[in-house]
Chains A and B, each alone.
Chain A
Amino acid sequence: MLQILSALASGFLQTLLLVALTFVIGLPLGVLVAIMRVSPVGVLRGVGTVYVNVFRNIPLPVLMFFSVLVLPQLGVDTSFFVLALASLVVYWGAFFCETVRSGINSVDLGQVEAARSVGLSSGQTLIRIVLPQALRSTVPPLIGIVIQIVRASAVAGAFGVTELYASMNGVIQHNADKVILILFLTGVFYLVITIPSGLLLGRIEKKAVFAR
């Protein structure tokens, strides 16, 4: 029992690490692509649009096949963890981008006009006026995305990363008589992250703390 728990706990830590890194790398990527998508420069807009439409529509497992099987052939020599992380980042980066972009679009037009009329350039307007407000209104959907990342990170377990799902599989193979118990415990580990985040999300949305 203790053995099972400690194996699952170490998988849980890997899952947390994977999710945290995906968020920390993916969010700036998403913001960057969102800036590209609202820029007046056509080529940047095009690149951003293509990026989002490509990566949002490929299933995560297919992306993982790419990074785990194709990248090593092209001379990328790194661990499964980094490869899986790379596909999680580019996949969720597209969702981060769309969230931030809809945040940008929700900022009141008067804010932009006021900023422009006091002489800020369009870049300054974006970075000093629009983005801070946009990011604030994206807090609830971002929490939603984090919950999704936690759930999706299980896919990495099928590609050689020993996160929670893979640990569960390993443990089940050695304790075939306790399948239900192990599934139950693993479920609890996932729910420990996802349910409190969901409740937090509900509270924030209800209070509209972040509404302007």
Chain B
Amino acid sequence: MSTLLHDAPGPRAKRTSLLLNIIAALAAAAGIIWILIKLASKGQLGAAHWAIIGDPTVIALLINGLGATLLVAVCAMALSLILGVILAAGRLSRRVWLRVPARVAVELLRGLPVLMLIFFIYLALPLIGIVISSFWALVLGVSLYNGALIAEIFRSGVNALPHGQSEAAESLGLRSSQIMRYILLPQAVRSMLPALISQLVVIVKESSLGFIVGYAEFARDGNAVVNYLGTLYALPVYTEIAVVYIVINILLSQIATRVEKRSRQRYGRAAQQVLDTE
């Protein structure tokens, strides 16, 4: 842990620490017991009440929703990677007429709520004759925002490389597109990989916005279950959903950490802390 702030504890510090541990544990236990009593008094703790999360119909519906969520996440990841590369190439370009529009697009997409992007696609595209399903509205909305973020990850990954790399390539006579393709991107991708995987967590979480355009993903299916059974069952059903989200996202974060550790071992230099706002 953070050995940084504390020296090795002596006998007195050990005693204080033990005392604080006991107090904190008691406080935490008291809090949990209070919540449980509160729940029990509202009839939320009955075994029959929680049995609903094992109900085959509910589980079937939720698995369906989970599949839909993962489908959105995978599609959005692919699309936002493509968009991110295009936007990053624009932002890194030497030509002003490519750089400025890319910059504007990134700033706009980063500044608007994903909800608005989804809504915009869902409402505005049909007006010009393109009818779009709620699935694609969701995927496109999520991809637009994450594409802008991924573009920034790419850009800072490329910028973080030592200047000598592109200078050496230039002096060998490579064109700037070749430098990007053969020299900069392969090295940058390595250092960006953890940040890109962390971005997957954001995408998985954002796919839950689908309930607003009526796309039947995980969160919305949970909501449908609750609407059908009554809000009395909101606690068990949403708890189940929350746990699944937590497990998926912690797994993704673990993968990101592991990749980061491995690339750090393999390539010596710390994988640059690429901007990772989320």
Q: Do A and B come from one complex?
A: yes
Instruction: Give residues in A with beta carbon < 8 Å to B.
Output: 37-38, 40-45, 47, 53-54, 56-63, 65-66, 69-70, 73-75, 95, 104-105, 109, 112, 116, 122, 125-126, 130, 141, 144-145, 147-148, 150-155, 157-158, 165, 168, 172, 179-180, 183, 186-187, 190-191, 194-195, 198
Residue in contact with B115 in the complex, picked from A63, A75, A147, A155, CB distance below 8 Å: A155
Query: With contacts A141-B277, A165-B113 known, is A53 near B234, CB below 8 A?
Result: no
- Bound form: Cα–Cα A54–B278 in Å: 15
- CB-CB < 8 A to B130: which residues of A? none
- Bound form: Cα–Cα A152–B115 in Å: 8
Asked if B112 contacts A59 (CB within 8 A), the reply is no
Query: With contacts A180-B124, A194-B110 known, is A65 near B116, CB below 8 A?
Result: no
Query: With contacts A47-B28, A145-B277 known, is A183 near B120, CB below 8 A?
Result: yes
Query: With contacts A40-B6, A130-B5 known, is A190 near B111, CB below 8 A?
Result: yes
- CB-CB < 8 A to B119: which residues of A? 183
Task: Say yes or no for B24: interface residue by CB 8 A criterion.
Answer: yes
Asked if A190 contacts B112 (CB within 8 A), the reply is yes
- Bound form: Cα–Cα A116–B4 in Å: 11
Complex interface residues of chain B between 227 and 246 (CB less than 8 A to chain A): 231-232, 234-235, 238, 241-242, 245-246
9-residue interface stretch from B52-60, B181-189, B205-213, B258-266: B205-213
- Bound form: Cα–Cα A47–B232 in Å: 28
User: What is the total number of residues of chain B having a CB less than 8 Å from a CB of chain A?
Assistant: 61
Asked if A112 contacts B5 (CB within 8 A), the reply is yes
Asked if B25 contacts A43 (CB within 8 A), the reply is yes
Task: Say yes or no for B20: interface residue by CB 8 A criterion.
Answer: yes
Binary flags per residue of B107-135, CB closer than 8 Å to A gives 1, else 0: 11011111110011001100100000000
- CB-CB < 8 A to B209: which residues of A? 61, 155
9-residue interface stretch from B36-44, B79-87, B89-97, B167-175: B36-44
- CB-CB < 8 A to B2: which residues of A? 37-38, 104-105
Asked if B226 contacts A69 (CB within 8 A), the reply is yes
Binary flags per residue of B192-211, CB closer than 8 Å to A gives 1, else 0: 00000000010011111101
Task: Say yes or no for B144: interface residue by CB 8 A criterion.
Answer: no
Considering the complex, give the chain B residue whose CB is closest to the CB of A54. Answer: B246
Task: Say yes or no for B98: interface residue by CB 8 A criterion.
Answer: no
Asked if A47 contacts B112 (CB within 8 A), the reply is no
Residue in contact with B208 in the complex, picked from A38, A59, A116, A186, CB distance below 8 Å: A59
- CB-CB < 8 A to B47: which residues of A? none
Task: Say yes or no for B272: interface residue by CB 8 A criterion.
Answer: no
Query: With contacts A62-B238, A62-B241, A154-B113 known, is A144 near B277, CB below 8 A?
Result: yes
- CB-CB < 8 A to A153: which residues of B? 113
In the assembled complex, the CB of A59 is this many whole angstroms from the nearest CB of chain B, namely 4
Asked if A73 contacts B208 (CB within 8 A), the reply is no
Asked if B124 contacts A179 (CB within 8 A), the reply is yes
18 further A-B pairs in the complex, CB-CB below 8 A; given A75-B42, A151-B112, A183-B123: A37-B2, A38-B2, A43-B20, A43-B25, A44-B24, A57-B248, A59-B204, A61-B211, A62-B208, A69-B234, A70-B235, A73-B235, A126-B5, A158-B212, A187-B116, A190-B112, A191-B108, A191-B112
Asked if B28 contacts A43 (CB within 8 A), the reply is yes
Residue in contact with A41 in the complex, picked from B20, B234, B246, CB distance below 8 Å: B20
- CB-CB < 8 A to B222: which residues of A? 62, 65
24 A-B pairs with C-beta separation under 8 A = A57-B248, A61-B209, A61-B211, A62-B219, A62-B238, A62-B242, A65-B238, A66-B234, A69-B226, A75-B38, A105-B2, A109-B4, A122-B6, A150-B113, A154-B113, A154-B115, A155-B209, A179-B124, A179-B127, A180-B127, A183-B116, A183-B124, A190-B112, A191-B111
